[in-house]
Amino acid sequence: MSRLDSFIRRIVAQKKCLEQCAAAIGQTKGPVVELGLGNGRTFDHLRELLPDREIFVFERRPNAHAASTPDAAHLIEGDLALTLPKAQSLLPARAALLHSDIGCGDAAIDARTAALIAENLARVMASRGVVLSDQPLTHARLEPIALPEDVEEGRYFIYEWSA
């Protein structure tokens, strides 16, 4: 498969996962949290999907176009190692949906970041909230949810944060 086809497949899968997860949170109360603003593509899609939810984005080096950057009250700047442990004081409530998109292509770094995220989920997630991640996450309270049809296993990971 060409790199272009692979990129298209990844982005289509990401869009389908975001849409499934946005629908899945239903009546679960709480904001949306995104880890990794990047160029703001998924933040922009989430705010279109969930216009009535507050979206808080954690990012160490915000560098997206202003139009795809949350306002200062919803942008939590700094490394996740410093910000996630303080999530309870930074967020108004526990999150109904967490989207984590932190992959940098270095497997060792991504695994360390995924472990850091997993160990802080209890500070972030509401009971029965949904976690969508580009990396596999391991925690006793994470229950895997099936991916949308046509999304290849291992491309994304969806979980419910059990009660």
Ligand X SMILES: C[S@@+](CC[C@H](N)C(=O)[O-])C[C@H]1O[C@@H](n2cnc3c(N)ncnc32)[C@H](O)[C@@H]1O
The position carrying tokens 């490394």 is 79
Residue type at 4 in one-letter notation: L
- Total binding residues toward ligand X, as defined by CB under 6 A: 17
How many residues would you count in the chain?
163
State yes or no: residue 57 binds ligand X (CB under 6 A). no
Whichever of 48 and 143 has its CB closer to ligand X, that residue is: 48
Rule CB under 6 A: say whether 70 interacts with ligand X.
no
Closer residue to ligand X in complex, CB, 61/162? 61
d(CA 123, CA 17): 23
Per CB under 6 A, the list member of 30, 31, 38, 129 interacting with ligand X is 38
Among positions 9, 10, 16, 41, the unique one binding ligand X when judged by CB under 6 A: 41
Is 140 within 8 Å of 109 (Cβ atoms)? no
Question: Nearer Cβ to ligand X, position 82 or 143?
Answer: 82
61 binding ligand X? (CB under 6 A): yes
Buried b (16+ CB within 10 A) or exposed e, 80-102: beebbeebeebbeebbbbbbbbb
Considering only 16, 19, 49, 103, the residue that binds ligand X (CB under 6 A) is: 103
Please select the residue that binds ligand X; options are 37, 87, 91, 132, rule is CB under 6 A: 37
Q: Over the range 5-38, which residues count as b (16 or more CB within 10 Å of their CB) and which as e?
A: eeeeeeeebbbbbbebbbebbeebebbbbbbbbb
Residue numbers of the site for ligand X (CB under 6 A)? Answer: 36-42, 58-61, 79-80, 101-103, 113
